[in-house]
Amino acid sequence: MNVLGIETSCDETGVAIYGEHGLLAHALYSQAALHAEYGGVVPELASRDHVRKLLPLIRQVLDEANLAAHAIDGVAYTAGPGLAGALLVGAALGRSLAWGWQVPAVAVHHMEGHLLAPLLERPAPEFPFVALLVSGGHTQLVQVDGVGRYRLLGQSLDDAAGEAFDKTAKLLGLGYPGGPALARLAERGNPGRFRFPRPMTDRPGLDFSFSGLKTFALNTLQQAGNDPASLADIARAFEDAVVDTLVIKCRRALEQTACPRLVVAGGVSANQRLRSRLQEMAAKRRARVFFPRLEFCTDNGAMIAFAGHRRLCAGQHEPLAFEARPRWDLTDLPPLN
């Protein structure tokens, strides 16, 4: 079954085709330059740009996969969570193409897409595993027993990890998108100069709280001054605090579940320091950690085509009516057999 996947939940237009033999083609258009001058995503501009880019990208992946439209057997679109208008563009086009082509369509949960993205790699993790989902909107630890069999172990009580990176980057005068820019600046920082707290690691449990770190960064900035060396040192101290906190909670989740497999996905899983620190922690515990390749950490169409392929092959599909679900609980998804 060849599945066309469409991702439009935020500021990337992602399209891919996943078939019986794996990923056949994928394409991504990032709106970063469009939103950069506003310092963050402008939802209305995001929706309009998805309208402009989606059909050309779909033509492009069909060409790359050397497939005619009638070779598509199903359509998967991100239905939530995300920006309502942006989601509606992908949902409306995905549902309409499926109707026109007389094939089934399935609504994919964006975080399930992230969560399953490491299964696009070889070796792929086997179920069950613990998943750390770290994106701009979510920080969650999930026990995963199969597709749609999700138990939430812990989550952020305030800012998501990616959101904390973006807000702190803004404080440091870095442009949008802030996470990768902050990580680059941290490379030049002195790790010993400042020490930020590791929030909520001094008590039991798997929840997170990252909003205090940006305030800590602001106070440190006011005291240290904004010379280039101080900015880099603050970036490094902030990154170390987030990474340490995530590693501590992941270790705890592996202990608590007695599971030897950790899957890490979502935009912040592209962070090199997080990747290497989690590798070290897992190696000490004789556990294995699985990441998507860098381009599939952040939003993309491949993960949606893949999650949709799993669900369509299991017989799930949507009626003709469609909806966008800007808020959508991962644990509400139907399990697959």
**Which residues contribute to the site for ligand KG4 (CB under 6 A)?**
10, 135-137, 162-163, 165-166, 177-180, 183, 266-268, 270-271, 298-299
Q: Which residue has the tokens 């030897």?
A: 260
Instruction: Please report the beta strands in the chain, taking only residues with DSSP state E, as ranges in sequence order.
Output: 3-7, 12-19, 22-30, 74-80, 105-109, 129-134, 139-146, 149-155, 261-265, 288-290
**Quick one: residue 5, left, alpha or beta (phi over 0 = left, psi -120 to 50 = alpha)?**
beta
Task: Count how many residues are written for the chain.
Answer: 337
User: What is d(CA 309, CA 19) in angstroms, rounded to the nearest whole number?
Assistant: 8
Return the number of the residue (273 or 285) whose C-beta is nearest ligand KG4: 273
Among the listed ranges 96-104, 132-140, 202-210, 257-265, the one in contact with Zn ion (CB under 5 A) is 132-140
Phi, psi (deg, nearest 5) at residue 213: -65, -35
In the complex, the smallest distance separating the C-beta of residue 182 from ligand KG4, rounded to whole angstroms, is 7
Say if strands 149-155 and 261-265 run parallel, antiparallel, or are unpaired: unpaired
With CA atoms as reference, report the closest residue to 38 among 68, 64, 11.
11
Answer with the entry of ligand KG4, Zn ion, none that 120 interacts with (C-beta below 5 to 8 A by kind). Answer: none
Which of 12, 163, 299, 318 is the binder for Zn ion (CB under 5 A)? 299
Return the number of the residue (103 or 305) whose C-beta is nearest ligand KG4: 305
With CA atoms as reference, report the closest residue to 27 among 69, 1, 65.
65
Burial of 22 (0-12, 13-18, 19+ CB in 10 A): exposed
Among the listed ranges 68-76, 87-95, 135-143, 145-153, the one in contact with Zn ion (CB under 5 A) is 135-143
In the complex, the smallest distance separating the C-beta of residue 184 from ligand KG4, rounded to whole angstroms, is 8
Return the number of the residue (90 or 136) whose C-beta is nearest ligand KG4: 136
Among the listed ranges 158-166, 256-264, 298-306, 328-336, the one in contact with Zn ion (CB under 5 A) is 298-306
In the complex, the smallest distance separating the C-beta of residue 270 from ligand KG4, rounded to whole angstroms, is 4
Return the number of the residue (166 or 299) whose C-beta is nearest Zn ion: 299
Answer with the entry of ligand KG4, Zn ion, none that 180 interacts with (C-beta below 5 to 8 A by kind). Answer: ligand KG4
Answer with the entry of Zn ion, ligand KG4, none that 210 interacts with (C-beta below 5 to 8 A by kind). Answer: none
Give the max Cα distance, the chain. 63
Return the number of the residue (54 or 268) whose C-beta is nearest ligand KG4: 268
User: What is d(CA 263, CA 154) in angstroms, rounded to the nearest whole number?
Assistant: 15
Return the number of the residue (19 or 240) whose C-beta is nearest ligand KG4: 240
Q: Which residue has the tokens 């999700």?
A: 150
In the complex, the smallest distance separating the C-beta of residue 42 from Zn ion, rounded to whole angstroms, is 18
Interface residues toward Zn ion, by CB under 5 A: 135, 299
